Structure 1
Amino acid sequence: MESSLNLITLVALSIVLFSALVQLVSADFTQLFKPNWAPDHIVTQGETIWLTLDNTTGCGFESRSKYLFGKASLQLKLVEGDSAGIVTAFYMSSEGPNHDELDFEFLGNISGEPYLVQTNVYVNGSGNREQRHTLWFDPTTDFHTYSFFWNHRSIVFLIDDIPIRIFANKEKIGVSYPKAQAMGIHGSLWNADDWATQGGRVKTNWTNAPFVSMFRSFNIDACELLPESDGLAGKCGKLGQFWSDKPGMNRLNKQQRKQLKWVITNHLVYDYCKDVPRFLELPKECLK
């Protein structure tokens, strides 16, 4: 059964090469992105970018295009040493108050403590779907790959191609799901010492500034929506039209299921679905 799924996956991926809907890129930063906040704190060289935070400002960038379904990945090397109060973010977001958004937020720490990665999902402007994980490696000593995979059925958050979280489409029970708004790809580095480390009890130590995070190896295999191509939205959004909805893409394989179980058992430290004191009534998607 697994070999059959692998064959189907290969066939589905081959379709990508011939589909006009697909953009597969690993390219120079400036071809894909532009600064959208404090460009003087951003340094680029080829496909590598350095984001800098000091006591005046952080900084950020965004993709030149927006995407509806597919996979977006990049590699990150996080701030070394005492990074308490600091957040490095890799996220996808549409625009406006009723936006959709998918988040990786890396919460800084006191030296010697583990980094936490917080993931979140916003649908129509509503979030509060946080999970937090410890990492099984030191994210400051080398680059690691962080990815979003997104189709009509589910959103998968991956680290080094290991799934750490799935947000499934549960529209049948009245849960909103992001499927109609194209999202840009963003990165940022900013001060969040009012909440990021131990609930805001540990503040940013500005004597360690400037703080630097490195981004590289941007890969986007997603349905691209250019500002002038409104007609493409229907093609991107149509169920089964894009490679990410082809057979073999709608579920984790056996190895991925084992990996996800391992992550949940060993590295999940907070799940909003289990936070009974926070919610008088748990969100619908949390109910079995």
Structure 2
Amino acid sequence: MGSEFPSKPMSLYATIWDASNWATSGGKYKVNYKYAPFVSEFKDLALEGCPSDPIEEFPSFDCHESDLARLENAGYATITRRQRSAMRRFRQRYMYYSYCYDALRYPVPLPECVIIPSEKERFRDTGRLKFGGSHQGGKRRSRRRGRGRVQASTLEYDPYM
């Protein structure tokens, strides 16, 4: 990811699918289809960018130079060190599944996935957090730090650093 954010073309797509059998306490709460069609509303949604054709392998840039300059200088075009650090902490604490690490479903990582070795180590081949991982389920634990211990470190690419 580096300092530019986002680094890949993005789009907005929404779909509704039924995950009642696994996402709602093992199927305890079913979707009631009598309320269909389902509608989503976005308040004050502002999409800024340049149009692209999703079928093109190499996108042609239909933006005018003034549009590109404005987008690149916008406050959301870059992510600060503090924001990257906050994102890394959030992912370590709360992310318990990632399709990017689900090697059983996706043997080859999808194009939008950036594989981070330290994260990959935390997940099984199913993309789910390994037992005993750092996700504490909202519980706080006290940490003891040993005196005089030096933690070994390895060099790896982490886009949130």
If the length of structure 1 is used for normalisation, what is the TM-score?
Answer: 0.25
If the length of structure 2 is used for normalisation, what is the TM-score?
Answer: 0.40
1 or 2, which has the higher strand percentage? Answer: 1
Rg (Cα) greater in structure: 2
